[in-house]
Structure 1
Amino acid sequence: MTWKATFEKWKQYDELETDLGVKLKELEENPAELEDAFYKTLTFGTGGMRGILGPGTNRMNTYTIRKAVEGLALYMLEHIEGARDKGVAIAYDSRYMSQEFSVEAARVLGAHGIKAYVYESLRPTPYLSFAVRHLQTAAGIMITASHNPPEYNGFKVYNDQGAQMPPAEANELISYVNSVESELTVPVLDQEEIERDGLLNWIGEDVDKAYMERLMGIIRNPEMIREQSDISIVFTPLHGTAYQPVLNGLEQAGFTNVHVVEEQAKPDPEFSTVSSPNPEEHQAFAKAIELGKEKGADLLIATDPDADRLGVAVQNEEGEYEVLTGNQLGTLTIDYLLSQTTPLPEDATVIKTIVTTEMGRKVAEHYGARMIETLTGFKFIAEQIEAFNETGDGTFLYGFEESYGYLVDEYVRDKDAVQAAITASELAAYWRQEGKTLYQALRSLYERHGYYLEGLHSLTLKGKEGTEKIQQIMDHFREEQPSQIGSYKVIAVEDYSDQTRTFLDGRKSETIDLPKENVVKYILEEDAWCCLRPSGTEPKIKCYFGVKTDAPETSAERLEELKEAMVSKMESVIQESVK
């Protein structure tokens, strides 16, 4: 069926929601946008789907949600024993249509006799992961688009371990979603009917309390926190879901001097005080920095809308607040957790992704712990944790990724900004007791292990043409493998699409013991590296860089040089595609 035929099908559908019908008529005035809304089905990837709100098969709306949930229901009934009674836990964030989509999901599940356990109001993503494990449901759904702009929403699926599905499991689910013939005709039951029949159950404070009890267990030094309880902390939830969870956690942990950025405290689907509700971007800290200066704060913390990512800012040597990278905070946390865990288990293990700093490995090995790598995405870290529990081949102590995702305790199986907020506050209190700021503690780590520095360049290429250009870039770097990037000699090329590590000095190729993925990584001399990876949730191709030298200025220079070399190569590929 052509996209035009699909559009006509939607246009002629008598029961189309009124609001979507109005927007559909508006789209007819813009042929390019109309085609983009219908030229494909919104991709249901290994983590779910994410897209712009609006009418069309390539948009987030009631009907694309119904199709996704219909596929999940069919998958559950075929693969999970007792799926109807175990049910599905559902949570949602502060975005437009999030609450409505959560109820739509319950209505579809209800048509199959599958119970839904829906949070009574918005909750963070880690709470959904926890609810799946706590309620022992067969699956979980999180309605969120994380830190994307206001016009987006998304749909993430979790398995019975409270983790996003690993590739094999997800691919099986995807086949069921794709088998649904029409998103417009998925059967649903009325909300009143499923509530009456016990197929829609509202959850809230009981599960919240259970989460908070486990949260207090991550604290390493409660007595030290009591002694440093007046450490000044500024917190902003960036209009998302973390306001109450983080404040409750800090209060119960014993922190008494916490200041909230009030303009950003309430949920707001427009995220009206920031250009992007992403703690990875320094502009998101603008108001927190204002309040921090007023209060003389030791620590600034910010969470993204669904509270799975945490950003931190601390005062540097000039007294100005500097936002730490995910790599820096993760490495500081490894150093603290391992130094404060006594005795350290012989099989103590820290987990990071392939695009996360190598400094974490250096610090872990300094304490006698091992570091293992996964593909990008916290589902792979969760999968490794579950493997430890099944085989006994490791004791999980910490997992992190460069994109501001951290997990301290495995009672949640996704990145958890609530856990990370408590741990970052404990870190700051500990180092204040030692007479240092977090910034000074980080400098000490650099002096001991070397000046590791990482960077990221994201290239946004929207629409059908953008998707094609992203693949052209990946194909080019595979087909024309460079022997040198900038001033760095290439030692090896890791192509995760065929799981091979090829050495350029003639050594025998190796097999990469990780799942297949559309990723190419270059291992360079002098502990440098760079990696190309299309985003799984946004129309972007991401290029990651890492260097290490003995001086901060040198590392900054070498990183910029490496970035310029890779970006230049990417742009030349795009220019060639235009000719």
Structure 2
Amino acid sequence: MKSWQQVFQKWSTFQNLDVSLKAKLDEIETNNQALEDAFYKELTFGTGGMRGILGPGVNRMNIYTVRKAVNGLANYLLANRVNVKDRGVVIAYDSRYMSKEFAVEVAKVLGYYGIRTHVFESLRPTPILSFAVRYLGSVAGVMITASHNPPEYNGFKVYNETGGQIVPEEAEKIIASIKETDDELSVPYLELEQLTAKRLITWVGKEVDNAYLERLAQISRLDSVALNQEKELKIVYTPLHGTGLELVTRGLAQLHFPNVHVVEDQAIPDPAFSTVESPNPEEHQAFSRAIALGKQVNADILLGTDPDADRLGVAVKTKGGEYQVLTGNQLGSLLLDYILKRNDPVVYQNARMIKTVVTTELGRAIANSYKVETIDTLTGFKYIGEKINQFTSTGETFVFGYEESYGYLISSFVREKDAIQAAVMAAEMASYWQKQGKTLFDALDELYGKHGYYLEGLSSLTLKGKEGGQQITNIMQAIREQPFKEIAGLKVEKVENYLSGERIVMKEDRKEKINLPRENMMKFMLEQNAWVCLRPSGTEPKIKCYFGVCGNSSEASKQKLVALQEKMDGIIAGIINQ
């Protein structure tokens, strides 16, 4: 194994190194700490792709690390898929630094192998890439995005022929193929002019957008009369300097929402995301300008999509006239209830709602009330997409899918979380309740009153370096070897060990198989509809602890949640300090 100094030396003496990367390398040439971080390991290609800081080095996103990943992908596709060269690969990109340049690099490497590419002529949301793969009949898709990471990041996500993110089995084979490429600096490729001359690249325009919008119009739960009426709802929308503007506004226009006000200084694609601390609609600060505009125009609802428009945040005006951002669990539960309320009951016999194991149990309660079955998956929308694909052979019907981290899917013509679908449906839902004289908070209170006051929380602990990684390992090992029997006074009813694939039913001392992929996670199902789930990161020394409770009042739920969080924080701190 080469030392980081040897890898740096290889880069610094490479005669044809990209000029801009060479200049940045020269800037840090005397900074050993910066050099080591850039060269001590290769950028991790995980279960969906890779993501990292832009710059020179094998631990950075640059044209060479992208080329190496694509080289592995090309060889994987040629070995494992049929008619690869003609079906080709769809490539899309968002508003980040180097996004279009990386998209072209993907095409250049694939072109070397004779694989055709369909590259969008301008930036597009991630759900459009997912849709395009199936619409164009392609063998795979690549999305250049770092989602809502800080501006200095970019990423590379791979989609399979179903339009869903690659699943672990596919990722393992792609990773193995990538590792067969020894030298990232010498990956073969064609120049753009050669791709054009050989007709190996097609620039995609509005055709895919228009086809997507036709399908988007069909997700409405309104009858034809209501659909074609102008809606009174006043909407403020921010794309947070990303890709969502055109398709979200066109989608709302199709449903006849004339009162849409866009946050103009956040409508401009800006890789610096200069008006927000973080372009993440999960964080309330991202709504500050939308809130200001909302107060100015007296908006009923605020919509915000992240840079690649796969996540949606929604804020609603309270009775006090302030705007409050709904949690991902709350918005997902509201959408689920509205969709089932307005659906044809005939579909319920085989209908399935899909959520992740760390998403609120309120969703299950709502689905049960409509006699709809709930399916749990591991965290990550790729598993929801994979499950939808299986429905084509099982005869089950997908009605809704969501995760707590602001990802929602209403219709399966996309196989990825889709903030465009979610934005249009959230507006329709808010308009529906407005006609009943209610806000979304009123609708949420009704759900709590009917099903119980479900409340969720999250604790996240990040440690440092190799030692921190070992501490995270120790935490999971200690809890796995001596699982809890009670937490904060609540008895453990079931223990779910996703690494071993077993569920222990405590009262009966019985083991069951968990039919999910193996992952380093533990979940404890407690009495009174409470639960705790621990999930360490696979790429950094970080562990997340998710909590869910249900009480007969808002205050009772808050007290239970605080007690659970304090108890688990104390247990984790105790293991670290041993």
Instruction: Establish whether residue 360 from structure 1 lines up as the match of residue 363 from structure 2.
Output: yes
Q: Distance in 2 between matches of 1:133 and 1:203?
A: 14
Equivalent position of 1:231 in the other structure: 233
Q: Offset at 1:295?
A: 1.1
Q: Distance in 2 between matches of 1:202 and 1:124?
A: 16
2:345 is paired with a residue whose SS is coil
Instruction: Establish whether residue 95 from structure 1 lines up as the match of residue 131 from structure 2.
Output: no
The TM-score normalised by the length of structure 1 is 0.96
Q: Offset at 1:350?
A: 0.6
1:399 is paired with a residue whose SS is strand
Q: Deviations over 1:415-474 (max 9, x none)?
A: 000000000000000000111001100011000000000112223346545444433332
Q: Offset at 1:485?
A: 2.4
Contact 1:314 1:322 in 2 (8 A): yes
Which residue, out of 476, 479, 497, partners 1:477? 479
Q: Distance in 2 between matches of 1:422 and 1:136?
A: 26
* Superposition pairs of residues 130-169 of structure 1, within 5 angstroms: 130-169=131-170
Residues 427, 545 of structure 1: alpha-carbon distance in 2 compared, 3 angstrom cutoff: same
Q: Distance in 1 between matches of 2:288 and 2:226?
A: 30
Q: Distance in 2 between matches of 1:486 and 1:56?
A: 47
Contact 1:451 1:555 in 2 (8 A): yes
1:530 is paired with a residue whose SS is strand
Aligned length: 575
Q: Offset at 1:145?
A: 0.5
Equivalent position of 1:8 in the other structure: 9
Equivalent position of 1:213 in the other structure: 214
Which residue, out of 350, 368, 373, partners 1:370? 373
Which of 70-79 and 555-564 deviates more?
A: 555-564
Instruction: Establish whether residue 247 from structure 1 lines up as the match of residue 244 from structure 2.
Output: no
Q: Offset at 1:16?
A: 1.4
Q: Offset at 1:237?
A: 0.4
Q: Percent identity, please.
A: 56
Q: Distance in 1 between matches of 2:64 and 2:169?
A: 26
Contact 1:338 1:344 in 2 (8 A): no
Q: Distance in 2 between matches of 1:3 and 1:480?
A: 40
Which of 9-18 and 274-283 deviates more?
A: 9-18
Q: Deviations over 1:229-251 (max 9, x none)?
A: 12100000001000111011111
Q: Distance in 2 between matches of 1:213 and 1:265?
A: 24
Q: Distance in 2 between matches of 1:459 and 1:155?
A: 26
Equivalent position of 2:522 in the other structure: 520
Contact 1:228 1:429 in 2 (8 A): no
Q: Distance in 2 between matches of 1:509 and 1:449?
A: 29
Q: Distance in 1 between matches of 2:468 and 2:144?
A: 26
Residues 338, 501 of structure 1: alpha-carbon distance in 2 compared, 3 angstrom cutoff: same
Q: Distance in 2 between matches of 1:537 and 1:370?
A: 34
Q: Offset at 1:538?
A: 6.6
Q: Deviations over 1:495-520 (max 9, x none)?
A: 11111113444611211110101111
Equivalent position of 2:455 in the other structure: 453
Q: Offset at 1:541?
A: 2.3
Q: Distance in 1 between matches of 2:47 and 2:318?
A: 40
Residues 116, 461 of structure 1: alpha-carbon distance in 2 compared, 3 angstrom cutoff: farther
Contact 2:229 2:256 in 1 (8 A): no
Q: Distance in 2 between matches of 1:183 and 1:575?
A: 42
Contact 2:235 2:301 in 1 (8 A): yes
Q: Distance in 1 between matches of 2:463 and 2:61?
A: 19
Q: Distance in 2 between matches of 1:110 and 1:480?
A: 54
Contact 1:313 1:324 in 2 (8 A): yes
Q: Offset at 1:556?
A: 1.2
Q: Offset at 1:114?
A: 0.5
Contact 1:2 1:39 in 2 (8 A): yes
Q: Deviations over 1:32-85 (max 9, x none)?
A: 332222222111111111111111111111111011100000001111111011
Equivalent position of 1:397 in the other structure: 399
1:344 is paired with a residue whose SS is helix
Equivalent position of 2:318 in the other structure: 316
Q: Distance in 2 between matches of 1:536 and 1:325?
A: 25
Q: Offset at 1:560?
A: 1.7
Instruction: Establish whether residue 547 from structure 1 lines up as the match of residue 549 from structure 2.
Output: yes
2:510 is paired with a residue whose SS is coil
Q: Distance in 2 between matches of 1:8 and 1:356?
A: 47
Q: Offset at 1:177?
A: 1.3
* Superposition pairs of residues 86-125 of structure 1, within 5 angstroms: 86-125=87-126
Q: Offset at 1:540?
A: 3.6
Q: Offset at 1:489?
A: 2.6
Q: Offset at 1:227?
A: 4.1
Equivalent position of 1:498 in the other structure: 500
CA RMSD of aligned residues (A): 1.6
Q: Deviations over 1:314-338 (max 9, x none)?
A: 1223232111111111111111111
Instruction: Establish whether residue 31 from structure 1 lines up as the match of residue 7 from structure 2.
Output: no
* Superposition pairs of residues 205-354 of structure 1, within 5 angstroms: 205-221=206-222, 222-227=224-229, 229-345=231-347, 346-354=349-357
Which of 559-568 and 224-233 deviates more?
A: 224-233
Gaps of 5+ in 1: none
Which of 203-212 and 15-24 deviates more?
A: 15-24
1:156 is paired with a residue whose SS is strand
Q: Distance in 2 between matches of 1:536 and 1:404?
A: 21
Q: Amino acid of the residue matched to residue 556 of structure 2?
A: T
